[in-house]
Chain A
Amino acid sequence: MPITYTSNEQVEVYRFSLPAAILIPLIAVFLQAFIPWRFHFFSIFDLPLLVVIFFAVARRSPVAGLLTGAAIGLLQDSLTGHPLGLYGIAKTVVGYGASSLGVKLDVENAGSRFLVVLFFYVVHEIVYFTIARGLVGLTLQWSWPREMGSALANALLAVALFALLDRFKQRT
């Protein structure tokens, strides 16, 4: 099913129960901290980012999207050794962008979800690297093959993950 341009009236806006809105990001951050320690390859995934994109496109509210992104990003920052705000800023931008896109596009099918995640993963990495190098002074190396590989892996995971998370959606 191709990506369709829809009006605001045609797209559906979802909401989530309070436990789901709190627990899903927490579980995503927990898994992101726990699994790569056992399975190192898992560190190419960014589960919190996928959750941010999912909530943003489902709620279709830019304010809710950016606030969700900021909260999850800061939570993720808290577990790293770096200053708070690196992931926070990157995920704020992604949350705002994904929700703004969700208002205009139908992102309920697998193909569009794949492309949206692919795009916003790269956006996330660009913002993160810019902030990390420009403001914090970290020495990071940008590698397009690596980033595109990670983006593809995250996009594939997102298709499966979003299908799972769809169960928690509630129609408004």
Chain B
Amino acid sequence: MENLISRYRNVTILVVVLFAQVLGLAMQVRRSTQDESTRLIRVWAVDAVTPLEKSIVWFQSGVSGLWHNYFYLRGVRQENRDLKLQIERLRIEQVRLNEDAEQARRLQALLGFKEQFISKTLAAQVIGSSGSEQSRSIYIDKGTHDGIRPDMAVITAEGVVGKVLRAFKTTSQVLLINDQTSGVGSILEKSRLQGVLRGTPVGEVVLEKVMSDETVQPGEKVVTSGGDQIFPKGLPVGTVTKVSPGPELFLNIRVKPAADLSRLEEVLVITQQEEKQPSLADGAAPIRAADILAQRLPSVPDRPPDDPNKPPPPTSGLKILPAPTTQAPSGSTGSPKPSGANASSPSPGPSRIGPSRLGQSSSGQSMQGQLGPGQTSNTSVIPKPHADSAGSASTPGSVSSATTQTGNPPAVKPSTAPKPAAPAVKIPDVTNAAPDSQSQPVSPKPDAPSKQPATEPAPPQEQPQ
């Protein structure tokens, strides 16, 4: 036997080495992913490779920054003018979207939904990849020392990127959504069909588990459903590009990722999420844009106060009641009061100036590639409803950056389904109002205190210019 082994020494060693590796592989496959700890060899390999990658990326960024920020400034003035125009357009759009968001929050509060907040994000730079076509993952320059843990969501301004697979001390491995071992709970934005987003062996992304009798149109947006407990609900994932009959009873829906997964440079890691129920009191503090306009427009004079010694209530800081109340007393023949059913109607929702409830990034690193001039990297995402509802859940998140006009951090905002543009000043729902008040613009007048539980008129925080 000994002679046989020595005679076939090379083959014996080959068999032993192969057997050891197959055994190790089988044990890894058998072991649950939850219990898997990071192998020492992975730590060594990452520690050996990533410092060089970090150095090269740092040097490259420095040279590129020097060139682009100090030498190559052709066309910057024109671009600056264009961006200013764009900011103006976005400001107008922001007012409208804030109004829609506030309406959604109000409805969520009425229905007792819990909102999912992204309270902390961390900007990280991509420093390398796995180098294998079969394993689609990237490495970022932040690790456990920066608060990153496995299974944290990774996003960009465009959409979902993936999740943290392994976190090392100063680096982390991120599994991209187009890897075949990844899975993201997703939902189609319009049809509200839920499925699981998976990668394919060739790096494409498909939405699985959608029944073949459903109708899905190419071009429809796909957002996260929040069901995987990793990605907050409503983040944009991609767009449906092709729909075909798939295996068994399911459709084969091909999705183009919203984020360009092959050209990632900076990403955001969602390091903290929190859930809480939206509070109506929170939404009442900022002044409505419609209120500002209403103050400038002629309106029916206020109803004289019952108590002559009592100071008249402010004309702004209108709050919305959490539930419909009774009709205003018979003496309310003046302008319509946005209380009760009127208040809960969609039209006169208080719109906020500035993202007052947005989370803040814990890093503050610059995201030159993602953010525009004047923006910082502090990012957050507008909260999304946790439960699925046709109305309120239609505030899915398109991650975008916002300017810091009000001193608040810029927001990573959820995108919504295309909605008709709302007027700057809305005509209130007048079903309970006096007929002569229909032509009046919004003239926010708080109800009598007895009519408004927890709706003390709040003083305006922003004065009209």
The binding surface of chain A is classed by DSSP as helix
State whether A88 and B29 are in contact (beta carbons under 8 Å apart), knowing that A33-B49, A63-B10, A80-B132 are contacts in the complex: no
Q: Which 5 A-B pairs have the closest CB atoms?
A: A78-B45, A80-B135, A85-B25, A32-B131, A83-B28
> CB distance A96 to B14 under 8 Å?
yes
Shortest CB-to-CB span from A164 to chain B, Å, is 19
* Measured CA separation A137–B180 after assembly (Å): 11
* Interface membership of B303, Cβ < 8 A: no
Residues of chain B in range 28-57 having any CB-CB distance to chain A below 8 Å: 28-29, 39, 41-42, 44-46, 48-49, 52-53, 56
> CB distance B25 to A76 under 8 Å?
no
CB neighbours (8 Å) of B21 from chain A are 70, 74, 85, 88-89, 92
Q: Contact check: which of B18, B39, B44, B133 meets A43 at CB < 8 Å? A: B133
State whether A86 and B25 are in contact (beta carbons under 8 Å apart), knowing that A30-B52, A70-B17, A81-B181 are contacts in the complex: yes
* Interface membership of B130, Cβ < 8 A: yes
B-facing mask of A18-49, CB < 8 A → 1, else 0?
00000000100110111011001001100000
> CB distance B126 to A37 under 8 Å?
yes
* Interface membership of A3, Cβ < 8 A: no
User: Closest chain B residue to A131 by CB distance?
Assistant: B25
* Measured CA separation A139–B201 after assembly (Å): 6
> CB distance B135 to A82 under 8 Å?
yes
Residues of chain A in range 61-105 having any CB-CB distance to chain B below 8 Å: 62-63, 66-67, 70, 74-76, 78-89, 92-93, 96, 100
Q: Contact check: which of B129, B131, B173 meets A29 at CB < 8 Å? A: B131
> CB distance B25 to A84 under 8 Å?
yes
User: Closest chain A residue to B262 by CB distance?
Assistant: A40
* Interface membership of B202, Cβ < 8 A: yes
> CB distance A84 to B41 under 8 Å?
yes
CB neighbours (8 Å) of B137 from chain A are 80-81
Shortest CB-to-CB span from B261 to chain A, Å, is 10
> CB distance B22 to A36 under 8 Å?
no
Shortest CB-to-CB span from B179 to chain A, Å, is 7
Which range contains the number of A residues in contact with the other chain? 35 or more
State whether A37 and B14 are in contact (beta carbons under 8 Å apart), knowing that A81-B130, A135-B22, A137-B29 are contacts in the complex: no
Q: Contact check: which of A37, A89, A93, A132 meets B134 at CB < 8 Å? A: A132
* Interface membership of A136, Cβ < 8 A: yes
> CB distance A141 to B201 under 8 Å?
yes
> CB distance A74 to B14 under 8 Å?
no
> CB distance B44 to A78 under 8 Å?
yes
* Interface membership of B175, Cβ < 8 A: yes
* Interface membership of B387, Cβ < 8 A: no
* Interface membership of A138, Cβ < 8 A: yes
> CB distance A85 to B133 under 8 Å?
no
> CB distance B39 to A37 under 8 Å?
no
